[in-house]
Homo-oligomer: A and B are copies of this chain.
Amino acid sequence: MGRPRTFDRDAALDKALRLFWERGYEQTSISDLTQELGIGAPSLYAAFGDKRTLFEEAVARYEASPRSVTAAGLAGTSRRDVLRAMFERAAQEYASNEHPRGCLVNSAPELAANRAHNRMLTANRLGQVAEDAESRDAAETVAAFAHVMLVGLSSYARDGADEQQLRRVAELALHAVEAGAGAKAG
């Protein structure tokens, strides 16, 4: 009961996500948000809490997306598969014009914990699909390499690289795990 809100909370969250994605947390002001969302500040605070809480909810929404690059990798059934899936998804998504370029998580300084989490998920999956002890030992390093690539690809996309440029770099990166990951990586 009570007066119903005049905007779609879900659509508003999506707009906020895109704004944070494009400009980053600090560079997105409450004023930017209320203007883009077409609502007043009190409505925003009532619906989402403070700026930080809104950001966290936006990030959670971002990570739950079916477009997730890390999730694409987790579906892989071999080391090469895992990395190929991640890089392919990244090349598609990071340069897409459907949404801001690059990756929100991989371009926000304040999301180190999310990056560590994703890296761990990838390492675990690489451990699962490892075919020998060496591959199992190298899982963390290979996962670190993959996510280092993702951060770099995200930045490259933000700097203007198109999907083909990302794809060329990603393909080159794929050779690394074929050639070197089974061999000792340390």
Binding site for B on A (CB under 8 A): 24, 26-27, 106-107, 109, 112, 115-116, 141-142, 144-145, 147-153, 155-156, 158-161, 164-165, 167-169, 171-181, 183, 185-186
Contacts and interface: CB of A to CB of B under 8 A. Distances in A.
A111 B181 CA distance: 33
Contacts of A176: 172-176, 179-180
Give the copy number. Answer: 2
23 contacts: A26-B27, A112-B158, A141-B168, A144-B161, A144-B169, A145-B172, A145-B173, A147-B156, A148-B173, A149-B149, A149-B152, A151-B151, A151-B155, A152-B155, A168-B185, A172-B177, A172-B180, A173-B173, A173-B176, A174-B176, A175-B179, A176-B179, A179-B179
The majority secondary structure among interface residues of chain A is helix
A183 B150 CA distance: 23
A173 to B, nearest CB: 6
Contact of A169 (B141, B156, B164, B168): B141
